[in-house]
Amino acid sequence: MKDYNNVIELNHPLITHKLAILRDKNTGTKEFRELAKEIGTFLCFEAMSDAKLEEVIVETPIDTIKTGKLDEDKYAFVPILRAGMGFVDGVVSAIPNAKIGHIGMYRDEKTFKPVNYFFKVPKDIENREVILLDPMLATGGSAMDAIELLKEKGVKKIKFLCMIAAPEGLEVVTKAHPDVKIYCAHIDDHLNSNKYIVPGLGDAGDRIYGTK
């Protein structure tokens, strides 16, 4: 498998286990939603491994300690609607005070290209590190468009979190935005003729919301 610059694949036994359940076509909506949330938390933990902490003095019940704390106000989560919402509860559990924006896109079933229909982010988004959320990175079109929209707003540091990525999508996004780190639970095999990830797990949005 090709090595992609700025792509971090978690490759962890516990995540592989949870993905195995997610991939199963017989897994129901409730369990799928809960597992997507859990994987979102794991991905967020990994994405924050380079976070800079502010030095603080904390008084414990025994003594005082010089330690570090995160300035949560410097971060924003931006899910790509609608499937990206499946990650929100998981990542917010890691950074509860981060602001949340939304980017609305859907895939044109004839051209397979993303169509933008909604964009709402915090007014000071340019001063925040943005963590973009979408469970599936297939063609890379939605991710690329979302990153471009954020950069147009002045955002300088962007990370992208997904459960499963296709090599084709990784190629597109890393080439267009080499400064954006991509964190994924697993890199799958390829895209089929309908631009779905193989073996994948189907349409993440439909499975999260039970619409099919």
Active site residues: 107, 111, 203, 206
To which residue do tokens 């300035």 refer? Answer: 71
Q: Reduce the secondary structure of 164-210 to three states and give it as a string.
A: EECHHHHHHHHHHCCCCEEEEEEECCEECCCCCEECCCCCHHHHHHC
SS3 78: strand
Identify the sign of the CA torsion 106, 108, 113, 119.
Answer: negative
Sign of CA dihedral 73, 208, 190, 117: negative
Helix or strand holding residue 120 (H, E):
strand 114-120
Burial of 134 (0-12, 13-18, 19+ CB in 10 A): buried
